[in-house]
Amino acid sequence: MRTSNYDKYPATRLDAEVWQGWEAIRAEWLRRKKEGRFILVVECYQGVYHHEIEPELQKLAPACWIPTQSLFKSPAEIEAMTYPYVTDDRLFGFRSHFSYADFLDKERVAEARKQIESASGLCIIYGHGAAVVSPEADLIIYIDMARWEIQLRSRRHEINGLGVENAAEGASYQYKRGYFVDWIVCDNLKKQLLPRADYWLDTHTPHQPKMITGDTLRKGLHQTAHSPFRVVPFFDPAPWGGQWMKEVCGLDKETPNFGWCFDCVPEENSLYFNLRGTRFEMPANNLVFYETRALLGAPVESRFGQDFPIRFDFLDTMGGGNLSLQVHPTTQYIRDTFGIYYTQDESYYLLDAEPGATVFLGLKTGVIPEEMIGALNQAQKTGGPFDAERYVNRWPARKHDHFLIPNGTVHCSGAGAMVLEISATPSIFTFKLYDWGRLGLDGVPRPINIGHGSHVIQWERQTDWVRKHLVHQVEPIAEGDGWREERTGLHENEFIETRRHWFSKPVTHHTEGGVNVLNLIEGDEAIIESPTGAFEPFVVHYAETFIIPAAVGTYTIRPYGASEGKTCGTIKAYIRFRQ
């Protein structure tokens, strides 16, 4: 293990004002207040602490106070309306197409608008859908919330979904409602407000609010979308979790394990601004929404819209156990069953591995589908073991091996591996087939999805085919003075291309009009620079994932600091548009 230099708090630096604390924030709003009727719209994302925010707003002594919660349809009506999309399943629903207009009671909204029209003095409209209730506003405030913080609050049963009382539900049910319903509604309105909100609030830390102007927000997003950057990684224990990340990423040694690190999943991760030494947090998705073309590039935007299609995360089983045996849905199945238009193709890149580490991938030659599904169902029914090695290939896994996993391929990482998972973004569509008899961290068996899995397993992907097409497919591409480039995948069925570079001197890259995502897989430090000085030099450390927006164009990477004179390595992923 090496000494950690992993940066857990990356940020875009801005020289701009930030207001801290409710008193300073209220004073800034009052400074903007004019005589007569003044409409203050305070919109917010799902998951904020209303019990903190509402009393602080009411200290402004508004002449007219309209909490939008009172304008929603009843929880029973909303439950009935959303049920076909939320379903009874513990994990999966169907992508909805609601807007706030579907949640709000038309008659109550009409009465509220009359009240606003006749108001004199300060009128505050606060809550979910406030900007819909009052399209007219003298000042628009947006209180944002990143999805990782929402998940933590859900686990503690502290928050409700839009218009429902579901705080007591299990975290997976709350996440499902957010993913398939609430966050779609919130994001669609947020996209409209990003270009015109007057102020943006960060309330991720209770009772320590921070506020920037909308102009500062937009300036920061523009700057980020034209230079290398990192999103804020988050780490989570797992039933199979290991010990590698504790050392390499500098994590809490008292936590039993860390299994996950999400270090490039913009729909889940946060983005930090560093404003004169003060850290300001927001969802990284704001960048995708506001700077789509600069970040993704026109060809990627044309294909994926405002979805960031590449995901990097860590799976740590060093000192841990096997992941669940699993399979991801085919594209048609995920469309028909869940309303999602592309699926979670992926790959395992081995950042590190213990002696004897393995990866389960593909089926053994001659596997009979009915026999394997029967054995899986029997294990699930009785709680007995499933003889995975009778049906699934188990491949030796060494540091820097790359295993390709197109959708429909049965797979899992075995114990003793440190996986950099490079995949497409859809994040919850894993059909677990067998979980080795374990309980989840909540003490409840994790959901097993043999029924879904049986519909998508590609049974022809057996030993010889897997060896030929999916196991460590390395192809030399180019080399120069002090560098060489290799193609390591992905499979032709997958839309992500990966290239590995080994370098002891500067190597030139070009985004070719599409976003690049990279990880420093070897070496202590490297530096990314612009040949034209278009952005400030950007230093990355071992195992850090970093994003190069399409707008950057040409950039160079070279060893830096303790790595100067040594050989470093990166793995780069981008969207494949031509072979």
- Per DSSP, the three-state class of 59 is coil
In which residue are the tokens 């030139």 written? Answer: 508
First to last CA, the chain: 38
**Within a domain: residue 29?**
yes
pLDDT of residue 546: 98
For residue 579, the model assigns a pLDDT of 45
Q: Which residue has the tokens 């612009």?
A: 530
Give the pLDDT score at 28: 98
Show which of 224, 246, 263 is a domain's final residue.
224
Q: Do both 163 and 269 map to the same domain? A: no
257 and 218 fall within a common domain: no
Residue 214 shares a structural domain with residue 312: no
Among 443, 469, 495, give the residue marking a domain's end. Answer: 469
The answer to whether 289 and 224 have CB atoms below 8 angstroms apart is: no
Whether residues 247 and 376 fall in one domain: yes
Same domain, 209 and 310: no
- Asked if 465 and 353 sit in the same domain, the reply is yes
My answer on whether 238 and 215 are in the same domain is no
Q: Are residues 131 and 49 in the same domain?
A: yes
pLDDT of residue 530: 98
Strand order in the sheet with 483-489: 475-480, 483-489, 496-503, 568-575, 516-522, 545-548
Q: Are residues 240 and 210 part of one domain?
A: no
Supply the pLDDT for residue 91: 87
In a domain, 577, yes or no: no
Describe the strand order of the beta sheet including 278-283 as a list of residue ranges: 12-14, 270-275, 278-283
Domain that holds residue 320: 234-469
Structural domain contains residue 553: no
Whether residues 202 and 238 share a domain: the answer is no
Strands 199-202 vs 210-213: parallel, antiparallel or unpaired:
antiparallel
Q: Say if residue 407 is in the same domain as residue 302.
A: yes
Give the pLDDT confidence score for residue 426 in this predicted structure: 63
| Structural domain total, the chain | 2
Q: What is the domain-level CATH number for residue 279?
A: 2.60.120.10
Domain assignment present for 502? no
Query: For each successive 10 residues of the chain (579 residues), what is the average pLDDT?
Result: 85 97 98 94 98 97 97 98 94 93 98 95 97 97 97 97 96 94 98 98 98 98 98 95 96 95 93 97 98 97 94 96 94 88 89 97 98 95 93 98 96 97 81 88 82 96 97 95 94 92 98 97 98 97 98 98 97 84
Q: Are residues 81 and 135 in the same domain?
A: yes
- Give CA–CA dist 560/540, Å, rounded: 9
The enclosing domain of 102 has a CATH number of: 3.40.50
- Domain-embedded: residue 69: yes
Instruction: For residues 161 and 174, give the distance between their C-alpha atoms in angstroms, rounded to a whole number.
Output: 7
C-alpha 29/C-alpha 36 separation (Å) is 15
